[in-house]
Amino acid sequence: MTTINNTVSSDLLATMNPSSSSTASSTSSVDDTQNRFLTLLVSQLQNQDPLNPMDNSEVTSQMAQLSTVTGINQLNSTLSALMGSYQSSESVQAASMIGHGVLAPGSEMTLSSGQAVMGIDLASAADSVKVDIMDGSGKVVHSINLGKQDAGVQALAWDGTTDSGAAAADGNYTFKVTATSAGQSVDATALSYGQVGSITTNSSGVKVNVGGLGAVDLSDIRQII
């Protein structure tokens, strides 16, 4: 009888601890697990040694393990359904951006026909905010002093005029943001501008394909213009 008990207990433990692939099983798989557990438990009870019966605490422990595994399986199924629903919602939200201009983290901008758009994102209010625009060699061609600014996102435009009063050539430029409050540095993020061309949905989530910026996470879009 002892040999039978040991064999059945091993099966029960295997039932209680399924592999990772079975963890995400469907409801029918959960039912199968419960049926197998009950069948094995009944077999174990029928074949137990009358002089050394199973401890009630052992049966209770095995049933508790089954309940835990079943609960985890059901939770995984629920989370999978919620994730699918959330991704669908994100896709619909992202699709509404197609054709619109957006601001996302980046320090590059393009001057075209004397027009360029960029943005800043301040973590907190600042007493002084300055934006330096640099050409391809890293030389500052124009500085914009914004003065006091509240926290949040702000879109900016540059007409291509340099500090010397001349017109900058069309092309690619970079810029950096410096912000301070009471003499202390304030976290400031430079934002690049681009137009949304399409949306990509895959296992990693929803990506917004922005001209000049590439694939951007939906959560990184700071403003729609």
- Dist. CA 31–CA 34, nearest whole Å: 5
Last residue in a domain, options 51, 75, 95? 95
What residues pair up with 134 in beta bridges, in sequence order? 140, 174
Last residue in a domain, options 61, 95, 129? 95
User: Considering the chain, what percentage of its residues have pLDDT values greater than 70?
Assistant: 60
Burial of 109 (0-12, 13-18, 19+ CB in 10 A): buried
Looking at residue 81, what is its pLDDT? 59
**CATH code at position 203:** 2.60.40.4070
Tokens linked to 175 = 């810029």
Same domain for 42 and 153, yes or no, is: no
Q: At 186, is the secondary structure helix, strand, or coil? A: coil
**How would residue 140 be classed by pLDDT, with cut points 50, 70 and 90?**
very high
Same domain for 128 and 216, yes or no, is: yes
Q: Which residue has the higher pLDDT, 194 or 34?
A: 194
**How would residue 23 be classed by pLDDT, with cut points 50, 70 and 90?**
very low
Residue 98 vs residues 7, 80, 151, 199, 209: alpha-carbon distances, Å: 62, 28, 27, 8, 9
Q: What is the domain range of residue 190?
A: 101-224
CA angle 218–172–143, rounded 5-degree value: 95
Same domain for 17 and 119, yes or no, is: no
Domain count, the chain: 2
pLDDT of residue 203 exceeding 80: no
Last residue in a domain, options 65, 95, 125? 95
Same domain for 157 and 202, yes or no, is: yes
pLDDT single digits (tens) 157-191: 999 999 999 999 999 999 999 999 999 999 999 99
Same domain for 82 and 190, yes or no, is: no
